[in-house]
């Protein structure tokens, strides 16, 4: 009987194992396992360098799925986000990824494009990969599935938005403090009429909290305040400019616009430049979220910046704590914003 061809004779390359990495690095298999697990901190920097050099030479990649089937931890975390294109999401994701590096996890990211059916598919895929925990930043259309996963023991952390019925940790902005910064600054500058522009509020806990805090702070300061919700179709410059034109004509009292997030700030700037030749001479503009271009538009856009990178990092840090055994009731962690004043909120009296 003819023997089956060896991998060498067929040109196939055997997949390197942890044993191969240990042999190549001249260390124990236990040390290599620690490198890929939760005990990496026990290894010296020199040993980590030897392991990483061996991994690169051999082209080694751990088989996460096989590890899961053997009852071992996968080292995988899942993140489900509503809109990957949103600058908030991009920066939050970067902070989360940095935390994963520090804590020895890998991150699987799924973008739903605000599609509940797509989100359901992503949750099923992440479940199949045996992720050890989930970070959720969506509108919550699949609450029943998430509650079921939580009840099965899967740790979860919500970012920015609460989901009804899902009792777990949440990390986000201190909306009351952020609105206090925004309203106090505008009142100090001499504005007595404020308009907050936001995407649809209903069902999005962070937007609801932001609007509520805006009204409370404006009422406390004794200034007129209104809120206008704009759906995606009305964020185009022409419809939004018409809304702003009506608001400007309604009163001669100095007015300022508070944009509820970075997407809204960009839409408002487009609309104002379509409406006015020198918009910041007529109206103040303050945006929640600091974006790279805010310093470059006109005299610069005043912002109340969320610590988005830190929010992403803290979300993973909180999740890892739950995975590794932190007990107790769920926590709501809020981080403070900071004000960057620029020329867009310098009141120019006629």
The three-point CA angle 238-298-253 to 5° equals 70
DSSP category for residue 139 = -
Q: Is 236 exposed, middle or buried (0-12, 13-18, 19+ CB in 10 A)?
A: middle
DSSP 268-300: HHHHHHHH-SSGGGT-EEEEES--GGGGTSTT-
pLDDT of residue 132: 94
β-strand 338-340 against 332-335: which pairing, if any? Answer: unpaired
The rounded distance, in Å, linking the Cα atoms of 149 and 135 is 13
With 50 as the cut, is the pLDDT of residue 160 above it?
yes
Q: Which of 8-22, 117-131, 327-341 is the least confident region?
A: 8-22
With 60 as the cut, is the pLDDT of residue 279 above it?
yes
pLDDT tens per residue, range 58-87: 888 766 555 554 445 788 999 999 999 999
Non-local (6+) Cβ contacts of 228 within 8 A are 195, 196, 197, 198, 243, 247
The rounded distance, in Å, linking the Cα atoms of 106 and 100 is 6
- Span 27-32, average pLDDT: 87
Neighbours of 41 (CB within 10 A): 8
Non-local (6+) Cβ contacts of 158 within 8 A are 135, 136, 137, 166, 168, 169, 170, 171, 172
**For the chain, what percent of residues have pLDDT higher than 90?**
63
Neighbours of 13 (CB within 10 A): 9
The three-point CA angle 207-147-114 to 5° equals 45
With 60 as the cut, is the pLDDT of residue 253 above it?
yes
96-121 exposure pattern, b = at least 16 Cβ within 10 A, e = fewer: bbebbeebbbebbbbbbeeeeeebee
Q: Give the pLDDT band of residue 6 (cuts 50, 70, 90).
A: very low
Q: Distances from the Cα of 29 to the Cαs of 42, 263, 314, in angstroms?
A: 14, 50, 32
Helices (H), the chain: 7-10, 18-25, 29-36, 45-58, 64-69, 87-103, 116-128, 143-151, 175-188, 205-221, 237-249, 262-275, 308-323
With 90 as the cut, is the pLDDT of residue 340 above it?
yes
The rounded distance, in Å, linking the Cα atoms of 67 and 124 is 19
The rounded distance, in Å, linking the Cα atoms of 140 and 202 is 12
Name the token pair of 69.
């089937």
Name the token pair of 214.
């805006």
Task: Name the more confident of 255 and 63.
Answer: 255
Q: What is the pTM of this model?
A: 0.78
With 90 as the cut, is the pLDDT of residue 40 above it?
no
Question: Contact 135/315 with Cβ under 8 angstroms?
Answer: yes
Q: Torsion over CA of 196, 198, 200 and 202, rounded to 10 degrees?
A: -60
**Which structural domains are found in the chain, ordered by start?**
76-173+309-335 (3.40.50.2300), 175-306+338-345 (3.40.50.2300)
Q: Compute the residue count for the chain.
A: 350
């Amino acid at each position: 009987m003819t023997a089956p061809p060896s991998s060498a004779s067929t040109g196939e390359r055997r997949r390197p194992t942890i044993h191969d990495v240990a042999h190549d690095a001249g260390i124990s298999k236990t040390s290599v396992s620690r490198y890929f697990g939760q005990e990496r901190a026990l290894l010296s920097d020199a040993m980590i360098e030897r392991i990483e050099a061996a991994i690169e030479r051999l082209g080694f990649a751990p088989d996460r799925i096989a590890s899961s089937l053997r009852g071992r931890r996968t080292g995988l975390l899942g993140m489900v986000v509503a809109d990957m294109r949103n600058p908030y999401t991009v920066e939050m994701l970067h902070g989360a990824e940095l935390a994963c590096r520090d804590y020895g996890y890998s991150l699987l990211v799924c973008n739903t494009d605000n599609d509940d059916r797509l989100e359901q598919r992503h949750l099923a895929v992440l479940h199949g990969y045996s992720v050890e925990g989930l970070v959720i930043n969506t509108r919550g259309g699949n609450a029943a599935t998430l509650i079921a996963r939580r009840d099965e023991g899967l740790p979860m952390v919500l970012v920015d938005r609460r989901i009804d019925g899902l009792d777990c940790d949440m990390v986000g902005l201190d909306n009351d403090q952020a609105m206090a910064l925004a309203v106090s600054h505008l009142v100090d500058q001499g504005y007595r009429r404020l308009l907050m522009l936001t995407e649809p509020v209903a069902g999005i806990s962070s937007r609801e909290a932001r609007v509520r805090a805006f009204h409370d702070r404006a009422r406390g300061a004794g200034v007129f305040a209104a809120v206008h919700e704009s759906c995606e179709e009305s964020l185009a410059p022409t419809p939004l400019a018409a809304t702003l034109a009506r608001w400007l004509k309604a009163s001669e009292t100095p007015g300022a616009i508070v944009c509820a997030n970075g997407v809204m700030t960009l839409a408002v700037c487009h609309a104002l430049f379509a409406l006015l030749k020198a918009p910041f001479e007529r109206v103040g503009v303050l945006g929640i979220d600091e974006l790279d271009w805010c310093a470059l538009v006109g005299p610069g856009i005043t912002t109340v910046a969320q610590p988005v990178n830190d929010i992403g990092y803290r979300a993973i840090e909180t999740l890892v704590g739950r995975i590794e055994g932190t007990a107790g009731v769920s926590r709501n962690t809020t981080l403070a914003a900071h004000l960057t004043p620029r020329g867009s909120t310098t009141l120019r009296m006629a």
